[in-house]
Amino acid sequence: MHTITNITGGILLVIGFLGCSIPPQPILEYSVEAAPILPDGETVFYEDPIDSTVVWSKEGLQLKVRFYNDRMLDARFNPRVSPYTLAGWTDPVLGYTPPLWTTFEVTVINRTRERVELDPTQAVLRLDNGNYFYCSQGVGVWKTLPHYFDYSYLKWGGREGNVEFYANTDRNDIWRRTSFQREKPVRKGRKYAGMLTFPRLPKDVKSFTLEINDFILAYDSAEAGFGNPTEFTDIHFHFTVEQGVVTVERGQ
């Protein structure tokens, strides 16, 4: 009996030693980093050193754009209930949480014109592989699978997601308060900001252009809520992107 006990104890000791010596498995994370490309010779585009936005500025009117990856979004919004990321859900095949959206914060600052307006249904994300996406704020007009899709059901479609939804914060309330809404004219001396969300980038994309098309510069009436737009401009922001799976040590 003593011999059997000693052998069993030795086996347990070896197993315990091996268990302690095996390092924890790293966490897989999908990283997306985008950097603006400033056109050569252009003076209307520049980077703001204070908030790291890329800015289009002309005659007292500014349009500021900031790319947000999932880490930035989860730092800004509670990831347990955020409508902007899939935090809390891991793809069982890939072993990591993929991005839900390609997200930008867009700010319109109007110092000189009577009334300007950005219509999100005219915003397009044009990719270097020839494809293009419409933003979710514009899918009431265009909702076709090649140019728009939404994976948010992965986080919110199950029972656990719905429990989290009702027990904490209504994600639709966050969406309404923070996404860039339609029909938001910006009068002189004011500004308006919100998030534009496009489908996540295909893995082979190396660059893209955020097109703000038909930005309204003037109306034929200065009265709020009246008049037809009479002056437009297209504003395009170019970005390079680096993306891929990275490993993150536990505890970081």
- Give the tens place of pLDDT for each residue, 64-103: 999 999 999 999 999 988 999 999 899 999 999 999 999 9
Tokens of 162: 């719905």
pLDDT at residue 190 above 80? yes
Domain span at residue 198?
28-248
Whether residue 196 is contained in a domain is answered as yes
Q: How confident is the model at residue 146 (pLDDT cuts 50, 70, 90)?
A: confident
Q: Please state the pTM of the whole predicted model.
A: 0.84
Which residue from 166, 171, 196 is spatially nearest to 67, judged by alpha carbons? 196
Whether residue 58 is contained in a domain is answered as yes
Whether residue 160 is contained in a domain is answered as yes
CB 29 within 8 Å of CB 97 = yes
Q: How many domains does the chain have?
A: 1
In sequence order, the β-bridge partners of residue 231 are: 218
DSSP 179: B
Which residue from 122, 116, 118, 117 is spatially nearest to 138, judged by alpha carbons? 122
Spatial distance between the Cα atoms of 212 and 190, rounded to a whole number of angstroms: 19
Whether residue 17 is contained in a domain is answered as no
Strands 101-110 and 61-68: antiparallel
CB 209 within 8 Å of CB 126 = yes
